[in-house]
Amino acid sequence: PHKVNFYGPYVGSDTSEKNPTEGINLYLAHRIEGRFFKDRFSLSITEAIMYASADATIDPRIFNPATIFHNFYDPSDANSTLVVEMDFTPVKCLNIYGQFILDDLAIPGGESAGGPASSGYPNAMGYLAGARYAMDAWTGLLTFNIEGAFIDPYRGSDIRGNVEKDPLQGINLYLAHRVEGRFFKDRFSLSLTEAIMYASADATIDPRIFNPATIFHNFYDPSDANSTLIVEMDFTPVKGLNIYGQFILDDLAIPGGESAGGPTSSGYPNAMGYIAGARYAMEAWNGLLTFNLEGAYIDPYTYVRYCMDPENPSSEAYGLDYIVSSRTYVSGSVSLDCLVYDEYFLGYKHGNDCAVANLNVGWKKPDVIAVSANCFVMAHGTHDKWTRWDNIGNHGQEQWDQASVTPTSVHETGNYRYDVSDRNAVCYTLDIGLGCSWFANDSLKVFAQADFICLWNSLNRQGINEQDFQLVMGVKYSL
């Protein structure tokens, strides 16, 4: 398959979206896949390119399905990746899989690699491996899944500058295992996922974390490890109706561990999150009519965590938070002739310190047309992905309600990226949207989306209100 997606012209804006850049941004990929041994083993190679141009010009060679993207050595306009994937089912119920991504590798005649005695750009690769096992149990299906990933450290720009001027050393590793059960003829499922974010400035690893039976929460090592526990539930009581929920435990003070902050006591914050929703589908007008209502409530300090030593701010370049990033190459000035890291939450997309409600109504006739209407409401407090995780509380009930209960109107701790002294209100968002997609044939899709957006107390500043109308139209073609 050969896939093309166009984005733009505002993909290259800064994170505040106040100064959007012009031009285009294009993602292009091709893939070859083989299946062997009666489909028990599969191997695939995917090559992709992110192509950007400030003046909207495109090298037409990249549209040739036989083109090798890595032959385009043009770091100002193109960034290519190579992904190798493997999937193996040696026996019934057991599946082993792995993935390798090559993002950057210094080669003779290209970029020079940095090292102990030389300056240069970093190599950037990633590795992922896992195994799944399923068995009949308790009149249902019991499943186990363990997965680990090892990513080179250069997600990690200097988090205060957010660019690749001061890359970090060391390692950052995300590892998870999961147990899941399905019951009552697959109408009810319950799963438990435990994950750990492990970081080390000197690239040392405790090998116990690779034991599938390890309980990550037994690692009370706040300088190197941050674990989460996630419980998920999915229930279909009658045909067409589905009810689901999710709970995440990021931090919880327990006797003998950290002390919790409160109105009359100082301590570290508890951090949890809740999501609940319901879906309903029914036949209507020769198609499928769907309804989806969802709500979320995320504590102010969920997903964030201090890095090495809470008493030593200089060590906090190494994060144990659940914040990851994608890279964009930005040129045009000396200060921004580099890779910029666009950071986002490895979790709920709207992050911490928010209360959200969303209603979606849609109708579709498969492979012909789809229309939808959406109403999104969010109250977002002053905390964000750069909020410093630190001692809170002991300032009275009023301060506690304003600074530590979602949504907050006061930012009590520091912030790694912004001056938050003027954040003094909850930001409210209303987004009403209409969308439509038309499938001309198996390869061609035409789509449009219109949204009317209102912000009250924008950027968490009292009295700053904004409105915007956004219209997106596009065509997607695949071979």
Concatenating the DSSP letter of every residue in 223-273 gives TTEEEEEEEEEEE--STTEEEEEEEEEEE---TTSPPBPBTTBEEBPPEEE
For residue range 79-97, what is the model confidence (pLDDT) as tens digits? 778 889 999 999 988 999 9
For residue range 305-348, what is the model confidence (pLDDT) as tens digits? 865 444 454 445 556 788 877 766 666 555 556 667 778 888 89
**Least-confidence region, from 136-145, 165-174, 389-398:** 165-174
Q: What pairs with residue 296 in β-bridges?
A: 275, 356
| CB 207 within 8 Å of CB 238 | no
Nearest to 454 by CA among 425, 432, 438, 421: 432
Q: Which residues of 332-382 form beta strands (DSSP E)?
A: 338-345, 354-365, 369-380
In terms of Cβ atoms closer than 10 Å to its own Cβ (0-12, 13-18, 19+), residue 367 is: exposed
| Locus of tokens 């327990």 | 254
**Least-confidence region, from 61-70, 105-114, 294-303:** 105-114
| Locus of tokens 């994170």 | 15
- Give the model's confidence band at 32: pLDDT under 50 very low, under 70 low, under 90 confident, else very high: confident
Determine the distance from the C-alpha atom of residue 192 to the mean position of all C-alpha atoms in its chain, rounded to a whole number: 20
Predicted pLDDT at 19: 43
Nearest to 217 by CA among 206, 208, 226: 226
Predicted pLDDT at 124: 76
- Give the model's confidence band at 476: pLDDT under 50 very low, under 70 low, under 90 confident, else very high: confident
At 12, the amino acid letter reads G
Helix (H, G, I), strand (E, B) or coil at 314: helix
Whole-angstrom distance, CA of residue 112 vs CA of residue 138: 58
Predicted pLDDT at 115: 60
Q: Give the H or E element holding residue 273.
A: strand 271-284
Bigger pLDDT: 354 vs 173: 354
pTM score, two decimals? 0.70
| CB 448 within 8 Å of CB 439 | no
| Locus of tokens 């003094």 | 424
Tokens of 105: 């590798």
Predicted pLDDT at 247: 97
Nearest to 353 by CA among 399, 321, 397, 384: 384
Nearest to 347 by CA among 174, 160, 129, 222: 174
Please count the other Cβ atoms lying within 10 Å of the Cβ belonging to residue 156.
Answer: 23
At 26, the amino acid letter reads L
Task: State the average pLDDT for the chain.
Answer: 80
DSSP string over 446-470: EEEEEEEEEEESGGG-TT--EEEEE
